[in-house]
Structure 1
Amino acid sequence: MAAPTGKIADLSVAFVATPVPLDNWLVIAPVALCIILGAVLLIARASRLQALIAIPGLALLVLTDAALLARVVAHGPLTMVMGRWLPPFGIAFTVDLLGALLALTAAIVAFAGGIYALADVTDSGRRYGFFPLLLMLMAGVTGAFLTGDVFNLYVWFEVLLISSFGLLILGSERQQIDGAMKYAVLNLIGTTLFLIAVGILYAVFGTLNMADIATKAEGARPGAPLMTLSALFLLAFAMKAAAFPVNFWLPASYHTPRIVVSALFAGLLTKVGVYALIRIMVMLLPVEREQLSLLIAAAGAATVVVGALGALAQDDIRRLLGYVVISGIGNMLIGVALGTAGGLSGAVFYAVHSMVLMTALYLLAGQAASLGGSFSLAGLGGLYRRNGAFAGLSLVLFFAACGLPPFSGFWPKVILVKASIDVGAWWLAAAILVGGFLTTIVFGRVFLLAYWRPAASGSETAGPIGWRAALPLLILSALVVGFGILPERLLALSQAAAVGLADPFPYVQSVFPGGVAP
């Protein structure tokens, strides 16, 4: 049927009628950059061109995310809507302090991993797509941190998962295929639960825009199945984050790929799961988070202790580090369970620290194996005598992982312990401290066996570490030391991010300047 003539539609109700300010393009620039560079690398199949394009591209990604964070710090949350459709009709990218901070940290980690890949990934691995897959992985990770739409959060999870499958099997070795199967099956189960929860969410609210849901949740609460919805989200994101008791896929798969791939996975993927849990449970469903807080706290405490005990039982350094990743996830879950400003700021600080530290520890393990000829503690020895500077750098990272001062792991644990004591949850504080004590034993054992113990007789002396491996380790270690000695700036950002989660009014105002959805 033809539309009536002679009437002028008021497009301002549904469309952005004014020109988009130039700095608003920073919201989507990181994702667009990753996708464009990934496509270019797929076209430029010559392996010699891959790194020449990817490394400067990753450096540009760091600068873009830094500019985005500076913009959010200066002016608050920032929103850009696709196709000029106003939310909730259009898909929104909304960036607050939490998303911008984690996006920048992820970009730094990816840049360091890209440099290390120059030494770790063979020419065959480059031809089979390491750098395009890395950039598409970053598109998924960054998109998840920056999106303001729950369904798009699911889409970006899919993008990063597909890319991670390719990186996991790069090399086509038997153990890689075995690890990929375990990784894929469990993550696909988690993704399916996530999609089911998204469907229920849309049925309840009629929208998937996060700001819109945040404003409608209170009114929908009396008759809506929000507790069921929250339990589904909690289970799905706990699987993504490798929280106890659904953590067993991580140590079964993270030790199988190239060490740089393991490092990137440890630094990035589980943190996206934690981020999604924080965003959904704290900002959108705070009442349900409060009701589930005891369950989240118990899972967090168990994850801390079980992860540390699992690390203590390992001989392979890569498996050991997989359990250390799990233990760290528990600390972040405790912050989510507390839900206070202190707990949330501690979780955010710990997430940034863990992204940098776990990447550095895996890269360190790769160099330890290069110097000693094995990933097994039984086969390693004498690393201190072979390279004293490397041993000193290892101690710095080990102390940070244990939460010892003056390095980055100390401050978030102090914040989380204090936040636990403030609400009377002494058992959570005890779990954090016990986990730190066990982790200290874990890395003390590693140093004694791999570094301090004499090398086997007849073993060759390794040469110096090349700059391709040394530079990313130094970059990440400098951040670990800097966050520990000068924590004020990161602490202030973490506290501001926690405030923005507890009171999402600025976030909602960024999406709906009038305060409500049209």
Structure 2
Amino acid sequence: MNPSALVPLPVLIPTIAAAATLIAGRRPRLQRGITVVSLAAVLAVCCALVYFADRDGTIAVQVGGWGPTEPGMGPLGITLVLDRLSALMLVVSAAVLLAVVFYAIGQGIRDGDGRQPVSIFLPTYLVLSAGVCTAFLAGDLFNLFVGFEVLLAASFVLLTIGASAERVRAGIAYVMVSMVSSLIFLIGIALIYAATGTLNLAEIAVRLDDVPAGTRSALFAVLLVAFGIKAAVFPLSSWLPDSYPTAPAPVTAVFAGLLTKVGVYAIIRAHSLLFPGGALDDVLLIAAFLTMVVGVLGAMAQSDIKRLLSFTLVSHIGYMVFGIALSSELGMSGAVYYVAHHIIVQTTLFLVVGLIERQAGASTLQRLGGLAAASPLLALIFFVPALNLGGIPPFSGFIGKVALLEAGAQDGSVLAWLLVGGGVVTSLLTLYVMARVWTKAFWRERADAPEGEMSAASPSALVDDTEDVVFTERDDVGRMPVGMLIPTGALLAVGIALTVFAGPMFGYSERAAVEVLDRGQYLTAVLGDGSGAR
């Protein structure tokens, strides 16, 4: 099999499926079937791509055959690039996207009434999937920008489904911030094109070597601001806790798990491929420290579990930026492994919150209690990922953090040691926050909750499982559909697999880190000097 033929499929399959589901909007069962089959196919293709990327190294595909006209020259058309890092991001993202759409179907998302049209959910979700895959495969800055814009358009629709006042307000704030980020990114693209005369990442990497150091640092700073907003790096992260918690549980889960990681991926590419040398590493280390500490302190102040998890999401972005900024193989290995771990665990926890709302009618700690006795299974599927997020051994969160802390200790600089201390404190405070949720929501009696009697009337837009009608109040408290439990359990199993198979997984992360830090393979594959072109 020619692996080059598979590379465009993670983008093409969901794009075609989105059109098909839009046409089948009046046939919900067909619409759901197309979505599930297409995302399952994407997952299968991505698993094959991981194998080929690990076996063959970097694979570049010139769309339409518009490749380099001569060795050393950049391609004339669109380039898609697959390496171990992008393959890992694709397969983890595909697994999450498939699990979340199963969860959404289990929750009952289908055609609504005139007040809350939700038949657009699945087509938009598939467009979001195509945008995520486009960003991970983009071999030039403009197509990376296109991937981000596809994400923005689809995420705005998903964020405001139901058109409640709260969701529209959050959606407007989200779009405004995203548009500012996109504008800054577009300015950065224009400046880089003015400095290098190309937008192909490999050609930019080569030509930037001839650009003065001060100009390179300025260009990098512009891209870091754009990507930092998308990745929710402090002080560019204040938009996230106000935007994500208002959306339906499946939307919040996929946003929390994936969208910020697209920004982290873009930072890795810019840092390692375009601007190696560590010119702004100290700035990134400071930003990583503040992201960790401010995020976890914000989480400690929250009483709503969704907002609490949104703040922990921000804080743990700091670990990834920490590993990137160290510019070492161990640091990058830890960052790559931690990205995969965090996508799975954070998505799982947000799906569990959806189950908590279904079981108890609320996600606010003042209204929760007694869930461990009422549903031991729900308690278990919260307890395991909560420990994993807190970094308790032997879970994958502990493994990733140990690698990052060891990399910081090996660096030995003052800032690195500050990050080591900040990482330890953040991990302990994350564990405290998770323990607080467990104690209040699961362990104490419901009668001891200050507002426990109000839970059953908690407003939440859901779609009933038997009628195509959207309710605005919880009338099915206590029922957790199997269709919601199975995908949540599947992601829980994937998180445990990251622990059980930590050796092979971290070995893959090490190979991905070496490949990312060694620009030669990427440049050879794209610029086509003979050995790397595929």
| Aligned equivalent of 1:45, options 25, 32, 38 | 25
Does structure 2 retain, via aligned residues, the 8 Å contact 1:50–1:126? no
Structure 1 unaligned spans of 5+: 1-20
Q: Greater shift after overlay, 181-190 or 204-213?
A: 204-213
Q: Which residue matches 1:492?
A: 507
Letter paired with 1:25: A
Residue 462 of structure 1, CA deviation: 5.8
How far the C-alpha of 1:292 sits from its partner, in A, is: 0.9
Deviates more, 1:114-123 or 1:89-98: 114-123
| Counterpart selection for 2:62 from 55, 58, 81 | 81
Match of 1:449 in 2: 440
Q: Distance in 1 between matches of 2:167 and 2:347?
A: 19
Q: For the residues of structure 2 that align with 1:299 and 1:331, how far apart are their CA atoms?
A: 10
Alpha-carbon distance in structure 2 between the residues aligned to 1:221 and 1:496: 32
Aligned residue number for residue 359 of structure 2: 371
Q: Determine the structure 2 residue equivalent to 1:360.
A: 348
Alpha-carbon distance between aligned partners in 1 of 2:525 and 2:531, rounded to the nearest angstrom: 11
Aligned to 1:475, which of 473, 485, 490?
490
Check whether the contact 2:358–2:479 (CA below 8 A) recurs between aligned residues: no
Q: Does 1:232 align with 2:210?
A: no
Q: 2:99, 2:490 within 8 Å by CA — same for their partners in 1?
A: yes
Of 103, 117, 132, the residue aligned with 2:90 is 103
Matches within 5 A, 1:86-485: 86-87=67-68, 88=74, 89-120=76-107, 121-124=109-112, 127-221=118-212, 225-287=215-277, 290-424=278-412, 425-456=416-447, 463=478, 465-485=480-500
User: Does the 8 A contact of 1:45 with 1:127 survive in 2?
Assistant: no
Deviation at 1:119? 2.7
1:141, 1:160 within 8 Å by CA — same for their partners in 2?
yes
Distance between the aligned counterparts of 2:159 and 2:77, measured in 1?
35
Q: How far does residue 38 in structure 1 lie from its aligned partner after superposition?
A: 0.5
Distance in 2 between residues matched to 1:313 and 1:67, nearest whole Å: 44
* 8 Å Cα contact 2:229/2:236 also seen in 1: yes
Cα offset, 1:113, TM superposition: 0.4
Distance 1:209 1:162 in 2: 24
Q: Which residue of 35, 40, 61 maps to 1:54?
A: 35
Q: Which amino acid aligns with 2:223?
A: F
DSSP-derived class of the 1:79 partner: strand
Q: How big is each residue's C-alpha offset from its partner over 1:134-190, in whole Å with a ceiling of 9 and x where there is no partner?
A: 110010100100111111100110011100011001111110001001111111101
Q: Is the 8 A contact 2:521 2:532 kept in 1?
A: no
**Code of the aligned partner of 1:334:** F
CA positional deviation for 1:517: 12
Is 1:509 the counterpart of 2:497? The answer is: no
- Kindly indicate whether the alpha-carbon contact (under 8 Å) linking 1:301 and 1:428 is maintained by their aligned counterparts in 2: yes
Any conservation in 2 of the 1:346–1:416 contact (CA below 8 Å)? Answer: yes
Q: Residue 123 of structure 1 aligns to a residue in which SS?
A: coil
Is contact 1:266-1:359 (8 Å) kept?
yes
Question: Residue type matched to 1:237 in 2?
Answer: F
Partner-residue secondary structure (3-state), 1:499: helix
C-alpha contact 2:82 2:137 (8 A) present in aligned 1? yes
TM-score (norm 1): 0.92
Distance of 2:18 and 2:355 partners within structure 1? 28
Structure-2 separation of matches of 1:407 and 1:126? 41
Asked if 2 retains the 8 angstrom alpha-carbon contact of 1:134 and 1:163, the reply is yes
Aligned residue type for 2:191 = I
The alpha carbon displacement at 1:392 in A equals 1.7
Residue aligning to 1:7: none
1:492 aligned partner, one-letter code: G
> What letter matches 2:164 in structure 1?
E
C-alpha distance in 2 between matches for 1:260 and 1:114:
7
Q: Percent identity?
A: 38
Alignment check: 8 A CA contact 1:406 1:481 kept: no
User: C-alpha distance in 1, partners of 2:421/2:283?
Assistant: 17
Q: Is the 8 A contact 1:345 1:497 kept in 2?
A: yes
Query: Counterparts of 1:439 and 1:45 in 2: how far apart (Å)?
Result: 42
Runs of 4+ in 1 over 6 A off after TM superposition: 457-461, 515-518
Cα distance between partner residues in 2 of 1:469 and 1:155: 32
Conserved 8 A contact 1:26-1:64: yes
**Matched residues in 1 for 2:21 and 2:319: separation?**
38
Q: Return the alpha-carbon distance in structure 1 between the equivalents of residues 160 and 381 of structure 2.
A: 30
* Distance in 1 separating the partners of 2:388 and 2:225: 30
Aligned residue for 2:60, secondary structure, equals strand
Residues 410 and 484 of structure 1 are in contact (CA less than 8 Å); yes or no, is this contact kept in structure 2? no
Number of aligned positions between the proteins: 495
Deviation at 1:466, TM superposition (A): 2.0
What 5-or-longer segments of structure 2 have no aligned partner?
69-73, 457-475
Q: 1:517 to 1:417 in 2, by over 3 A?
A: closer
**1:12 — aligned with what?**
none
Give the aligned partner of residue 466 of structure 2: none
Report if aligned partners of 1:421, 1:429 keep a CA contact under 8 Å in 2. yes
1:382 positional shift: 0.4
Residue equivalent to 2:461: none
Q: What does the per-residue CA deviation read over 1:431-470, in whole Å, with 9 as the maximum and x for residues that have no partner?
A: 1101001101101000000000111387889645322111
Shift of 1:389: 2.0
Q: CA deviation at 1:515?
A: 6.6
Are the counterparts in 2 of residues 212 and 517 from structure 1 also a CA contact under 8 Å?
Answer: no
Query: Residue 516 of structure 1: CA displacement?
Result: 11
1 CA distance for matches of 2:531 and 2:60? 15
- Quick one: distance in 2 between partners of 1:451 and 1:517? 55
Question: 1:351-398 CA distances to partner (integer Å, 9 max, x unpaired)?
Answer: 111111111000000111111111100001000000112212211011
What SS does the aligned partner of 1:286 have? coil
Tell me, in whole angstroms, the C-alpha distance in 2 between the residues paired with 1:220 and 1:515.
Answer: 27
Equivalent residue number for residue 67 of structure 1: 48
- Per mean C-alpha deviation after superposition, the further-off stretch among 416-425 and 40-49 is 40-49
Partner of 2:7: 27
- State whether residues 395 and 496 of structure 2, in contact with CA within 8 Å, keep that contact through their aligned partners in structure 1: yes
